[in-house]
Structure 1
């Protein structure tokens, strides 16, 4: 057995576990709940559209949009704490910056903010990365559903 095979076996034995980590899953669940609250917690009657707290506080000129960006930045900071790669962090930060910049435009920016849902996008990106990385179990189960009642 040569040294490369020994290294390969040793590395695999000492490699970090790729099984689901309950604390990472709990963090992701909290971020998903926050994103739901910020982007789609309330249903607008008659329009069948969902908005969140961020769209409501964004109605306050400038201050509301800055507050929304600060709150949205928490999700990006948590993604960084969870070990997301720089490229993903940059993409999430751009989503927040884009949402905040367009949100500064009176009325049209508020409508855009309600539709863009940067927080939901960012948490979805983080979940995909964590599922591929092995940090959490997949959100969806592959397979075919079978109806049992009849």
Structure 2
């Protein structure tokens, strides 16, 4: 069994921080920094998008296929566009979890290539 590339560990860590790092008390639901950053108009959404794009950049550096990268970019774009809508976008960010989706896409792509 081969060990996972350090970059995949970084991708998973960033995805967790952005999408699932805090459990909502009394529930099993988790949120991360992405919807919280989105509470700060414009600047928060831009910061969250840049962090999300880091995951895509790591995937490209790992050699993930272009088709998967396009799908990842779609996830980030949708997250950023809908997430920028005041109030409603923050709830969307909390449920969509684009970064976790993208981390899973990276892991699956690396598994398929090995």
Match of 2:87 among 96, 107, 111: 107
Return the TM-score normalized by structure 1: 0.72
Deviations 1:16-70 (A, max 9, x none): xxx73x4x52211121111111100001112431000111111111111111001
Structure 1: give runs of 5+ residues left out of the alignment.
1-18, 135-150
Q: Which runs of 4+ in 1 moved over 6 A?
A: none
How many Å separate the matches in 2 of 1:54 and 1:98? 13
Structure 2: give runs of 5+ residues left out of the alignment.
none
How many Å separate the matches in 2 of 1:102 and 1:47? 25
Matched, 1:119 2:99: yes
Which residue of structure 1 lines up, in the alignment, with residue 23 of structure 2? 43
Between structure 1 and structure 2, the one with the greater Rg is 1
Match of 2:73 among 93, 108, 114: 93
Match of 1:83 among 59, 63, 86: 63
Matched, 1:69 2:46: no
How many Å separate the matches in 2 of 1:94 and 1:86? 12
- What's the C-alpha RMSD, in Å, of the aligned pairs? 1.3
Which residue of structure 2 lines up, in the alignment, with residue 58 of structure 1? 38
Equivalent residue pairs, number: 114
Return the TM-score normalized by structure 2: 0.94
As a proportion of its length, which structure holds more helix? Answer: 2
